[in-house]
Structure 1
């Protein structure tokens, strides 16, 4: 049985969609960022502050490698997990990779409304504003999301239930 990996920028809906999707499929699910924090014994913000982004990306790579080797699992991957070429390759080998895509405006609104974001997620650029950071990182990452994805689901103005339904339809069409 495959692993289904949900990819996309922070705030695209990966963690919100993973549990109901797993329930529909009878799979387990895991938030890769939660697993990184469990393995490291500290928050992602602390990893960045104390050890830097390269160390975080190393832990992220190890966690993703481990998770992608499992069966019947939905992975809500971190927004930057696709930065590693081997991780992108392994995601596709493990099973469907669903890119949850959202507009800059929707991402900014969701990130702003998520009370855990500032405490768990560091700023990744020195951009003047959150919107600029989102746009800059999307410009860098969208080609990688596109490369890794086996299907794309637009999440703007959709409920979690609608997104899950759309993913189920895309999974049925790939059988």
Structure 2
């Protein structure tokens, strides 16, 4: 069992929105590892960061990704930072990985500057830019397919993913 598509990208790239639509188009189930982490922890990601720390969140995230890659045969969306763990990057090898590329201005407008996202609390625009710059080479290196999402509707992005992966 293996996902038909694994979506990666920065916050605001559209992983959840596009992932749900892609799954619907293909008649598959959608799974989001952030939701899996919240289910295991019994609280939102932002609370895990505040109460338990980023290290604990990353442990839960790595476990969620490992399980999802082994158990899920639909469309899978990973949290933006999941790719930071070397074991996760190794597990993604051989999977159809779709990098949803987003520019800073689009990401900011989608995420919002008053975001509850824990890594973007202080100076969200600057923090988001740092995250995107640091993670971009990793996203690009893991991608089977890269799809630009700026100024595009979710349906257009899904069309390109389907074409790029030959689904």
Both structures adopt the same fold (TM-score exceeding 0.5): yes
C-alpha RMSD of matched pairs (Å): 1.8
Q: Which runs of 5+ in 1 are unaligned?
A: none
Which residue is 1:161 aligned to?
A: 155
Number of aligned residues: 166
Task: Please give the secondary structure, in 2, of the residue aligned with 1:56.
Answer: helix
Q: 2:83, 2:15 → 1: CA distance?
A: 14
Per-residue CA deviation, residues 83-135 of structure 1 (Å, 9 max, x unaligned), is 01111121233x2000000000000010118x8x42xx213575xx2211111
Structure 1 residue 22 displacement after superposition = 0.8
Aligned 8 A contact 2:2 2:70 in 1: no
Is 1:98 equivalent to 2:92 in the alignment? no
Structure 1 residue 48 displacement after superposition = 0.8
Q: 1:29, 1:88 → 2: CA distance?
A: 21
Spell out structure 1 runs of 4+ moving beyond 4 A.
none
Which residue is 1:141 aligned to?
A: 135
Is 1:7 equivalent to 2:8 in the alignment? yes
Q: Output the TM-score relative to the length of structure 1.
A: 0.88
Q: Which runs of 5+ in 2 are unaligned?
A: none
Q: 2:58, 2:72 → 1: CA distance?
A: 24
Which residue is 2:36 aligned to?
A: 35
Per-residue CA deviation, residues 120-171 of structure 1 (Å, 9 max, x unaligned), is x213575xx2211111111111111111111100000000000000000001
Cα 1:100/1:163, change in 2 over 3 Å: same
